[in-house]
Structure 1
Amino acid sequence: MRGEWWKNGLQLNLRIEPIGLALAVIYAFACWGARQVSLDQFYLPAGIRVAAVLLCPPRLWPYLILGEYAYFAQLRYPMVDKYGKAWVIFASAFLMPIVALIVHLHRKMIAATTNVWLISVAASSAVAISLLNRSFSQFLWPTPPDNAFVATVARYAVGDFIGILTVAPLALLWVRRRSESDWAAGFLKPTGMALGLMMLLGVSAAFLPADSATARTSLQVLMALPAIALTCILGWRGAAIAVPVLNLIIGLTTPKPYPSSFDPHAFTTQLIMAITGVALLVLGSRITYYYHHYKIRDDGEKNAIKLARNSHVASEMGLRERALDLRKIGDGMDISLNEVVNWLKLQGHHEIAGGLLHTAVVHSRQFRAQTSMVYPTALDHLGLYVALQAGGVREAWELTHRVTRPRLEGDPCQLSIGLQLAAYRAMTDAVTLLLETESGQIQVRARCGRFGRYRGIVVTVALLDAAYALSETTMSMAVERLAGRALAYGGVVQCRRNRVRMVLLEMPRTDPHDAAHSSPVEYVKTTDRGSSQALT
């Protein structure tokens, strides 16, 4: 019965994992080794403690407690006669649980994008552990220490905080090594240069004479410069590497005649470096945060441009199929009319046949011109310029008596079919717009070529009278109608005085039918001198 547990007793299932025991042993040896190179003002076991909690899942935390208790057992057992069993037991049993609790309370912040929570964990752990250690010494030692309580806690807290900032960022870097797939790109070169410069400055400071404290401090402070540079380049990951190395070099080069020794000059430098480390971690987190959001927005813009470009190409392919169908219909009509004309001639109706043939030729030419307006099939094989000069667009422009002969330069066949189609539509739309809203003669110019790493085309549709400026309505309508195609190819639409200027760009490639490339608008905003100078 459930109510008779007090008679039957309780059954506890204790499962011991071999990996946990191995972890406890490794943790105990890590703390022992870290203590050998530590000072009270540079206490690495505090960093090992926080790093272990960050690296291990909560189910393994009890083994970390076991490992720390084993470490303290071999360290403090010889001190039983001097400080008492109560201090050895209680002062060794509560430090790891307190740190585990602090990390557990920060679990919601740990899931955040920025890593400022690490500073909160480091500060909270350093203060809490220092308070516990000093309180246990005050109340459990047979003879309490006579030094000031607050000053001792502050000194120990700074040493623990520096130790945590030396080890914990590296653990965080390891935990989040797979959080972003492209973070390793360009990682080794700046990291190697920054760490090499920091080590050079640190070693130079260590070999200075003992009476050169000012020069040593200056060299140690200068180590912050490559750390700042690495943080600016790599964000929080740069800070997670630079700050530990910065603290480690200063800590290892600090004179230590005995473990509890204190060097006031090195301590001042370490205070400065601790503040610098905090600033670098915060700066790196913010850099990474804004870079992450910028990357998301940039990827969204690229995807939107790619979708717009693919949409334009798909619509053009639909128009191409329609134009081919219309051409087949026109060919069928021509064949039928020729048969009728031939039959009339056989019947002796030569005048009627001649008139019908003349009418058929005129209408057939007009039908084919309108078909080419639906889709310029000549562009697929002969390029943009031939499509402009031999298609229905040329006849339509000539009928207006307002469009002069286009000035076309460069080789459009070096561009993709998608970009040529976009330029064709943009050019015809711009001419149509100026014909509808403005008066006077219109000049069309186009130039294909290279601009930096990109290939592209500059199209200018302008009023022949340079003294006559486009109206605000025309400029607004030009941007609304033409910007979509230009932006889909990394270009821009500009309205200046008497002209509308459009630039479309793409990366050069081996397959001219591939239209899925993007180009930065910055390349086309630097030049506004007409089509003859925009591309070379």
Structure 2
Amino acid sequence: MSEAKSVAGSSTNKRWLMHVAVALGYALAYVTVRPFSVTYWPFVFGLRVACLMLTPRRYWPALVVGEVIPLAYFNALCLDDFGLLAMVLNSMPLIAVGMPVISWFRNRAGLFPTPGMVNLTRLLGCMLALSALWASIKYAILSTVHLPSGPYHIPEGAAWKYAIGIYTVLLLVVPWVIMIRIRGRRHLWPLLPLRTQMTHPLVRDAGVALLILLGLMGWYRVAGTDTQSTPLMAMFLPAVWLTLKHGWRASVLGGTLSLVSLACASNLLMWTSDAYHLQAETLMDMAITSLYFFGARISEQGRAYGQARQDAREDKDVARSALALGEARLQRTSQALDYLATLLRMDYMDVLTRYVPPEEYTSFHQEAEHLRRHVRHLAESLYPSAWRERGLGAALHETLGKVLREADITYDCDTVGRELRFLSPACQSVLYRVACDAVTALSTSPACIGLHMGIRTGRRPSGRWVVLRIRSMENPQRVAAAMVQGRSREGIATALGASLRTVEEARQLVRLFDGLLDLRTVPDGKRISLLLYDQAPNATVPAAPIRLWVE
């Protein structure tokens, strides 16, 4: 019993220590950020939202305590300058005011609809609500300030300056915090070699955008008063370019670079009443907000396109599997027919030697041999034995060559590389069947005297490719001889098992492997070219979310 109490006491102490650590850590972060916070760039508001987004809810009271401590200290130093009421109100922790807003958006409004996703519409709505709420409170506190010389006159447009400044900082900070939150477990940046990271397209394009922004900043410094607005307004164009190329995350990066460049160019870090600077920052905030929506839409379209490609790839994989299964069945059927032909020969020979009179032996033997040859030819047309025993290259060399030479058509096959055997069964079957159809179609011309086939193979990162080219050689003077041999040429399709597909049907079959098929007339004949990509199945792509949900 005493051991259980000691364990419970130690766990309670650890929880209290964690709360104390969170409070002290937040107070230290607040003290560090506060000197850099001015009206146009109040970074403490970005710190508040970042901590509320990243910290578990059980530590929120510790965040309130961590903010009260430095606020009370700094406001006590200014008590004689601004009055007791203003300093008491200014010591109110604004992080506590923002907690109900963020909690409502997280729990009721669907800010994070699914794990790893954020609803950008809700996120920007949350940022606008926090900006309006905190700006109203800051303006109300400012109205209670009492200087030693008399009442404080509030500058014109102070409320709008507060709202724009807070919203600008939230635009600058919150998207990065959200990316850390939704991708924290999967790492914000993959653990890749430094050289790979530096050559990433986004890093390269960000470097180009940074150079453009530096050029615009230099232009602003040397431009006259009448033309200074042009480089300021053009500072969001690099962000648009990054967004078009890379989507929402690039819009966040580009927006951050544009806002920082605007601040450096126009000295917005100082409190000024210049309406020109305020207008520039307002227009830039509107542009960046629109850019975030634009980037989210592009990312959504990219995911939808990737999902459509994945679905098409899966459909092709199903068709390839069905094609490979059909070829396997043909192979087993052809092999069974070969066995049947052998058994028929053995049975007929046994019957002929035992029961058939010698004078009828020859006729019965011829009929038996004819039946055996017919069965074997049927087996060869379904699935050549050369293909089963020695691979696809042997079938293209031997089976096609034998059938064409029997029809008095010369044939030669040129194969470079030995990677045909590494192709998938479905790709091999498409290559062979289309080759048989092409050979049959080209040999039907009476003027055809020969065929030349060339095959090239290779590899690429996503798989292998194969190119097949068949060219017919025609001689009009041999038409009469070909007409005499018409019956033997008609048997080419039967011997090869060609299905006599049309060109469009063959193209549809080739598209299963993202291939191309081309038929054209060349000098002294015709040429059929075929390209197939034997790709490995793509990685699974998550389903595209609905609405402006980004990851």
Q: Give TM-score, length-normalised by structure 1.
A: 0.72
Of residues 532, 536, 540, the one that matches 1:505 is: 532
Aligned pair 1:18/2:17, yes or no?
Answer: yes
* Distance (Å, rounded) in 2 between the aligned partners of 1:327 and 1:306: 31
Q: 1:491–1:503: 8 Å Cα contact kept in structure 2?
A: yes
Q: 1:87–1:140: 8 Å Cα contact kept in structure 2?
A: yes
How far apart are 1:341 and its partner, in Å? 4.1
How far apart are 1:496 and its partner, in Å? 9.0
Give the secondary-structure state (helix, strand or coil) at the position aligned to 1:93: coil
How far apart are 1:421 and its partner, in Å? 1.3
Aligned pair 1:121/2:121, yes or no?
Answer: no
How far apart are 1:158 and its partner, in Å? 0.9
Deviations 1:201-251 (A, max 9, x none): 677788899886768876666654443333333321122233234323543
Deviations 1:429-467 (A, max 9, x none): 6899x89xxx986978865336995633457899x99xx
How far apart are 1:284 and its partner, in Å? 1.8
Equivalent position of 2:331 in the other structure: 320
Q: 1:383–1:413: 8 Å Cα contact kept in structure 2?
A: no
Q: CA separation of 1:262/1:447 partners in 2, compared to 1, >3 Å: closer, same or farther?
A: farther
Aligned pair 1:332/2:337, yes or no?
Answer: no
Equivalent position of 1:28 in the other structure: 27
* Distance (Å, rounded) in 2 between the aligned partners of 1:516 and 1:361: 46
Equivalent position of 2:260 in the other structure: 248
* Distance (Å, rounded) in 2 between the aligned partners of 1:193 and 1:52: 31
Equivalent position of 2:308 in the other structure: 297
Equivalent position of 2:515 in the other structure: 491
How far apart are 1:370 and its partner, in Å? 0.6
Q: 1:162–1:274: 8 Å Cα contact kept in structure 2?
A: yes
Identity %: 19
Aligned pair 1:147/2:154, yes or no?
Answer: yes
* Distance (Å, rounded) in 2 between the aligned partners of 1:332 and 1:210: 96
Deviations 1:138-159 (A, max 9, x none): 357697642367x211111111
Q: 1:69–1:92: 8 Å Cα contact kept in structure 2?
A: yes
Equivalent position of 1:66 in the other structure: 65
Aligned pair 1:88/2:87, yes or no?
Answer: yes
* Distance (Å, rounded) in 2 between the aligned partners of 1:169 and 1:428: 59
Give the secondary-structure state (helix, strand or coil) at the position aligned to 2:38: coil
The two structures, once aligned, show a CA RMSD in angstroms of 4.7
* Distance (Å, rounded) in 2 between the aligned partners of 1:220 and 1:337: 97
Equivalent position of 1:164 in the other structure: 170
Equivalent position of 2:45 in the other structure: 46
Counterpart AA for 2:509: R
Q: CA separation of 1:324/1:194 partners in 2, compared to 1, >3 Å: closer, same or farther?
A: closer
Structure 1: stretches of 5+ with no match in the other structure: 1-12, 466-475, 508-514, 519-536
* Distance (Å, rounded) in 2 between the aligned partners of 1:236 and 1:110: 16
Q: CA separation of 1:38/1:251 partners in 2, compared to 1, >3 Å: closer, same or farther?
A: farther
Q: Give the 5 Å matches for 1:384-463.
A: 384=392, 387=395, 391=399, 410=415, 414-415=419-420, 416=423, 418=425, 419-426=427-434, 447-449=454-456, 455-458=465-468
Q: CA separation of 1:417/1:60 partners in 2, compared to 1, >3 Å: closer, same or farther?
A: closer
Q: CA separation of 1:390/1:356 partners in 2, compared to 1, >3 Å: closer, same or farther?
A: farther
Query: Relative contact order: is structure 1 or structure 2 higher (C-alpha 8 Å, sep ≥ 6)?
Result: 2
Give the secondary-structure state (helix, strand or coil) at the position aligned to 2:78: helix
Q: CA separation of 1:461/1:288 partners in 2, compared to 1, >3 Å: closer, same or farther?
A: same
Moved more, 119-128 or 223-232: 223-232
* Distance (Å, rounded) in 2 between the aligned partners of 1:442 and 1:115: 68
Aligned pair 1:235/2:247, yes or no?
Answer: yes
Give the secondary-structure state (helix, strand or coil) at the position aligned to 1:506: strand
Q: 1:449–1:457: 8 Å Cα contact kept in structure 2?
A: yes
Q: 2:517–2:531: 8 Å Cα contact kept in structure 1?
A: no
Aligned pair 1:133/2:132, yes or no?
Answer: no
Q: CA separation of 1:162/1:417 partners in 2, compared to 1, >3 Å: closer, same or farther?
A: closer
Q: 1:412–1:420: 8 Å Cα contact kept in structure 2?
A: no
* Distance (Å, rounded) in 2 between the aligned partners of 1:302 and 1:388: 29
Give the secondary-structure state (helix, strand or coil) at the position aligned to 1:505: strand
* Distance (Å, rounded) in 2 between the aligned partners of 1:286 and 1:303: 25
* Distance (Å, rounded) in 2 between the aligned partners of 1:354 and 1:217: 106
* Distance (Å, rounded) in 2 between the aligned partners of 1:63 and 1:283: 38
Aligned pair 1:362/2:364, yes or no?
Answer: no
Give the secondary-structure state (helix, strand or coil) at the position aligned to 2:59: helix
Q: CA separation of 1:146/1:441 partners in 2, compared to 1, >3 Å: closer, same or farther?
A: farther
Deviations 1:351-406 (A, max 9, x none): 323222222222111100111223223224455575367559976x999x9x9777
How far apart are 1:343 and its partner, in Å? 4.7
Q: CA separation of 1:256/1:491 partners in 2, compared to 1, >3 Å: closer, same or farther?
A: closer
Counterpart AA for 1:323: S
Structure 2: stretches of 5+ with no match in the other structure: 1-11, 476-499, 539-551
Counterpart AA for 2:337: L
Q: CA separation of 1:206/1:426 partners in 2, compared to 1, >3 Å: closer, same or farther?
A: closer
Q: CA separation of 1:516/1:45 partners in 2, compared to 1, >3 Å: closer, same or farther?
A: closer
How far apart are 1:340 and its partner, in Å? 3.7
Q: CA separation of 1:340/1:201 partners in 2, compared to 1, >3 Å: closer, same or farther?
A: closer
Q: 2:54–2:177: 8 Å Cα contact kept in structure 1?
A: yes
Equivalent position of 2:294 in the other structure: 283
Aligned pair 1:351/2:363, yes or no?
Answer: no
Deviations 1:115-165 (A, max 9, x none): 24333222221122111111233357697642367x211111111111111
Equivalent position of 1:110 in the other structure: 112
Counterpart AA for 2:346: I
Q: 2:331–2:388: 8 Å Cα contact kept in structure 1?
A: no
Report the count of equivalent residues. Answer: 477
How far apart are 1:407 and its partner, in Å? 7.9
Equivalent position of 2:75 in the other structure: 76
* Distance (Å, rounded) in 2 between the aligned partners of 1:182 and 1:457: 42
Q: Give the 5 Å matches for 1:212-231.
A: 223-231=235-243
* Distance (Å, rounded) in 2 between the aligned partners of 1:209 and 1:237: 28
Deviations 1:21-61 (A, max 9, x none): 32232223323322312321122112212222222233332
Q: 2:26–2:66: 8 Å Cα contact kept in structure 1?
A: yes
Give the secondary-structure state (helix, strand or coil) at the position aligned to 2:120: coil
Moved more, 197-206 or 126-135: 197-206
Q: CA separation of 1:367/1:136 partners in 2, compared to 1, >3 Å: closer, same or farther?
A: same
